Amino acid sequence: MTAHSVLVVDDDSDIREGLIDLLKSIGCPGVGAANGQKALDYLQHADAEALPCLILLDMMMPIMDGTAFREEQLRDPRLAQIPVIIVSAYRDVQADAERLKAVSYLQKPPKVEELLSVVSAHC
């Protein structure tokens, strides 16, 4: 992963792979994780140069949901600096984004233009 990569954390493999394909089409490599625990494991073992420039985070996932992931991420000074965008079908996604100190949020399914805009703002 390059410094301009995006970590996509979503338990729905179709959504996760679709977002990664879209990012790839604009020259922004992506890597996926099926839940918060896998994402955290990936980040904790990544070299500083391999950390993503952005995390797209689903809220509802098995094993470790978006809230638990974000709380753990914020506890680690090395990982806390990576901006997070909440991508969720929850009605109150804005409140979740504010509570979890996310830089932005997108309602599922995200509009391509909105997604590309928030990604380009951070990568």
Average pLDDT over every residue of 38-52: 92
Are 107 and 95 in contact, with CB atoms under 8 Å apart? no
Question: Distance (Å, rounded) from C-alpha 62 to C-alpha 81?
Answer: 25
State the pTM of this model: 0.93
Question: Distance (Å, rounded) from C-alpha 6 to C-alpha 8?
Answer: 6
Q: What is the pLDDT of residues 82-102, one digit of tens each?
A: 999 999 988 888 898 999 999
Q: 6-122: what CATH class?
A: alpha beta
Which strand (E) or helix (H) includes residue 28? none
Q: What backbone torsions phi and psi does residue 76 show, to the nearest 5 degrees?
A: -105, 110
Q: Where are the domains of the chain?
A: 6-122
**Closest by alpha carbon to 4, among 21, 27, 37?**
27
